[in-house]
Amino acid sequence: MDYLSGAEMVVRLLQDEGVEYIYGYPGGAALHIYDALFRQDRVKHVLVRHEQAATHMADGYARASGKPGVVLVTSGPGATNTITGIATAFTDSIPMVVLSAQVATQLIGEDAFQETDMMGISRPVVKHNFSIRRPEDIPVVLKKAFYIASTGRPGPVVVDIPKDMTAPDQKYPYTHPKEVRLRSYTPVVRGHAGQIRKAADLLLQAEKPVIYSGGGVILGGASSLLTELVRLLGYPCTNTLMGLGAYPGTDPQFLGMLGMHGSYEANMAMHHADLILAVGARFDDRVTNNTAKFCPDAKIIHIDVDPASISKTVRADVPIVGPVDSVLRELLALLRDSDGPAQPAALKSWWAQIDEWRKRHGGRYRTDDSKLMKPQEVIEALYRVSRGDAYVTSDVGQHQMFAAQYYKFDRPNRWINSGGLGTMGFGFPAAMGIKLNYPDELVVCVTGEGSIQMNIQELSTCLQYSIPVKILNLNNQSLGMVRQWQDMNYQSRHSHSYLESLPDFVKLAEAYGHVGVRVESRDELVPALEKALALEDRLVFLDVHVDPEEHVYPMQVAQQSMCDMWLSKTERT
């Protein structure tokens, strides 16, 4: 039996949980823990330049690996700086453990220096949070934090650790808890067999089916099962922004993304479907548009591990609560034993209809109306040069939508973006978290000149730890997505969406010791991308100037149905 201080127990538990990297920033209340970190070398700590970035790094790693990312910060401002990152992870159900130091127990409540109620502040944006009351509880509480973060519907868990809990001179017996149990937390392990049978029957009878899958399929490690199911049935499949990669993006049965900026065919197919199988998706408002007009003819089967996601915004006819992998496995078994879809003629004309829709708007855009490069062609070039095999992170705005639309993800966990919260500043640190853990992979952050400046200080961290991500800045010199809404809804009154005084990003990258390249014309684009990829061990910042007038299409018409869309600046369905 080892006798350890609270601080040493924190670090030892991380070791025993197999945590390789943690991301953080020190300060008074965290110093005992930082000292324990210093005296070992198994858990590696990455010093960020802003705590928000630490959470996004942990988050990026978690999204790529499926394992919880770990963050360590000090009390007060250190803790509050993590809130945006915690909320980002919470909204997208990402497993994360955030250790926030706290002032000593006897100071709590006295408005002590750097005291802030982290339990209260984080409460609405965590899956759960704990405060350590006795040092000897540290191993079990941290184990519970990992357990809660990564099971059921995953999410961030905060553990608030008052400084006296980690005092170096008080030692306690340490054992690694092999497992923990909570009487009030028992995630479901299987779906209801009767409901799954009902779902199978409905699926086989469908004439105009669509399979709509979301981030839950990726989080639940069920992408290959989903793919098998879609292929077995021969039905069309669409993914949400969070679900891209769960079904191969280059497959002929794939309709593309659905929703606000979804493809014409995906939104049309949804609206006209007679059956929708929703898997690990939550009928978010950015998908459904006006729920009162949502898919009027469709019966809905909804599989989700979180019962609260079912029938929240759109009523499910066949709700199935359970982990997507086990439910899909059972569903597949039933479908394999069946005689197959019962309406082949109807399905044939359904596909014919879908192919018609595909012809109408196959994600086209015009390159002839401006000398400037179009953001879409930049993403297509990236896709070709990287052979569709990069980890692509993104920020929030037009560039994010273009990346989602034009980079075809054939594999899950490769498209990493803040879908639910829409956090500008997410993409770059997320890319760093991935690159650090997958050093042999190509990791590209597709960003905009607005978003990148929200965490640009991390260029410094990349230098310190040699994190050679590629930054593809689609520089349209404006908060493009805001500008697009102003064009469409406010007669082009561009209120505060124009970014004046942009820095020279090339010089900025160089100032931080990296490589910067400006790309202003079409013929420079592919060579610049190739050069960036060839410089494997350097961070390369590609500042690509694109047409600021470009809009993202399709775009659903607000408050209407799935199938009411703008297809270009002048064309409406």
Partner 1 sequence: MRHIISILLENESGALSRVVGLFSQRGYNIETLNVAPTDDPTLSRLTLTTRGDDRVVEQITKQLNKLIEVVKLVDLSEGDHIERDLMLIKVKATGGMRAEVKRCVDIFRGQIVDLTNSIYTIQLVGTSQKLDAFLAAVSDAQILEVARSGVSGISRGEKILSL
Give catalytic residues, as residue numbers: 51, 113-114, 163, 481
With CB cut-offs between 5 and 8 Å by kind, which of ligand TPP, Mg ion, partner 1, none does residue 24 bind? none
Query: What's 126's DSSP letter?
Result: S
Query: What's 374's DSSP letter?
Result: P
Query: What's 165's DSSP letter?
Result: G
End-to-end distance of the chain based on CA atoms, in angstroms? 70
CB of 75 to ligand TPP, least distance (A): 24
CB of 359 to ligand TPP, least distance (A): 28
Q: Which is nearer to partner 1, 89 or 479 (CB)?
A: 89
The residues with which 279 forms a beta bridge, in sequence order, are 213, 303
Binders in 161-200 for partner 1, by CB under 8 A: 182-185
Binding window for partner 1 (CB under 8 A); candidates: 121-129, 338-346, 413-421, 562-570: 121-129
With CB cut-offs between 5 and 8 Å by kind, which of Mg ion, ligand TPP, partner 1, none does residue 396 bind? ligand TPP
Angle of helix 264-272 relative to helix 344-360, nearest 10 degrees?
140
540 close to 462: Cβ distance less than 8 angstroms? no
Q: Which is nearer to partner 1, 186 or 367 (CB)?
A: 186
With CB cut-offs between 5 and 8 Å by kind, which of ligand TPP, partner 1, Mg ion, none does residue 124 bind? partner 1
Map tokens 């470009």 to a residue.
550
Q: Output the CA torsion 121→433→502→530 (10° steps).
A: -160
With CB cut-offs between 5 and 8 Å by kind, which of Mg ion, partner 1, ligand TPP, none does residue 128 bind? partner 1
Binding ligand TPP by CB under 6 A: which of 26, 191, 236, 397? 397
Binders in 461-490 for ligand TPP, by CB under 6 A: 474, 476, 478-482
88 close to 424: Cβ distance less than 8 angstroms? no
Q: Which is nearer to ligand TPP, 432 or 479 (CB)?
A: 479
* Tokens (6 digits) for 143: 């184990």
CB of 473 to Mg ion, least distance (A): 9
Residues with Cβ within 8 Å of 396's Cβ and at least 6 positions away in sequence, in order, are 417, 418, 422, 423, 424, 426, 451, 481
Binding partner 1 by CB under 8 A: which of 80, 105, 131, 568? 131
285 close to 556: Cβ distance less than 8 angstroms? no
Q: Which is nearer to ligand TPP, 90 or 146 (CB)?
A: 90
CB of 454 to partner 1, least distance (A): 25
* Tokens (6 digits) for 156: 């961030």
The closest alpha carbon to 207, from 256, 263, 269, belongs to 269
* CA-to-CA separations, 501 to 30, 446, 504, in angstroms, rounded: 38, 21, 9
Q: Which is nearer to partner 1, 311 or 477 (CB)?
A: 311
CB of 302 to partner 1, least distance (A): 13
Binding Mg ion by CB under 5 A: which of 52, 239, 376, 476? 476
CB of 119 to partner 1, least distance (A): 6
CB of 476 to Mg ion, least distance (A): 4
Instruction: Encode 230-295 in three state secondary structure.
Output: HHHHCCCEEECHHHCCCCCCCCCCEEEECCCCCCHHHHHHHHHCCEEEEECCCCCHHHHCCHHHCC
Binding window for partner 1 (CB under 8 A); candidates: 60-68, 307-315, 338-346, 367-375: 307-315
With CB cut-offs between 5 and 8 Å by kind, which of partner 1, ligand TPP, Mg ion, none does residue 424 bind? ligand TPP
> Using alpha carbons only, what angle is made at residue 67 by residues 64 and 69, rounded to the nearest 5 degrees?
90
User: Does the N-terminal peptide bond of residue 548 adopt cis geometry, omega within 30 degrees of 0?
Assistant: no
Give the C-alpha separation, 365 to 367, whole Å: 7
480 touches Mg ion by CB under 5 A? yes
Binders in 433-462 for ligand TPP, by CB under 6 A: 448-451
* Tokens (6 digits) for 319: 């709700």
Give the C-alpha separation, 5 to 316, whole Å: 51
Binders in 395-454 for Mg ion, by CB under 5 A: 448-450
123 touches partner 1 by CB under 8 A? yes
Give the C-alpha separation, 246 to 240, whole Å: 10
Q: 392-405 burial by CB neighbour count: b if 16+ within 10 A, else e?
A: bbbbbbbbbbbbbb
Binding window for partner 1 (CB under 8 A); candidates: 128-136, 162-170, 204-212, 521-529: 128-136
Binding window for ligand TPP (CB under 6 A); candidates: 46-54, 64-72, 279-287, 419-427: 419-427
Binding window for Mg ion (CB under 5 A); candidates: 185-193, 252-260, 403-411, 471-479: 471-479
DSSP states along 500-548? -S---HHHHHHHTTSEEEEE-SHHHHHHHHHHHHH-TTS-EEEEEEB-T
Q: Which is nearer to partner 1, 188 or 515 (CB)?
A: 188
Q: Which is nearer to ligand TPP, 166 or 473 (CB)?
A: 473
Binding partner 1 by CB under 8 A: which of 17, 207, 306, 487? 306
Map tokens 């900025």 to a residue.
508
With CB cut-offs between 5 and 8 Å by kind, which of partner 1, ligand TPP, Mg ion, none does residue 148 bind? partner 1
CB of 396 to Mg ion, least distance (A): 10
With CB cut-offs between 5 and 8 Å by kind, which of ligand TPP, Mg ion, partner 1, none does residue 189 bind? none
Report the run of H or E that residue 124 belongs to, with start and end: none
308 touches partner 1 by CB under 8 A? yes
Positions touching ligand TPP (CB under 6 A) are: 395-399, 422-424, 448-451, 474, 476, 478-482
Positions touching partner 1 (CB under 8 A) are: 119-120, 123-124, 127-129, 131, 148, 182-185, 306-308, 311-312, 315
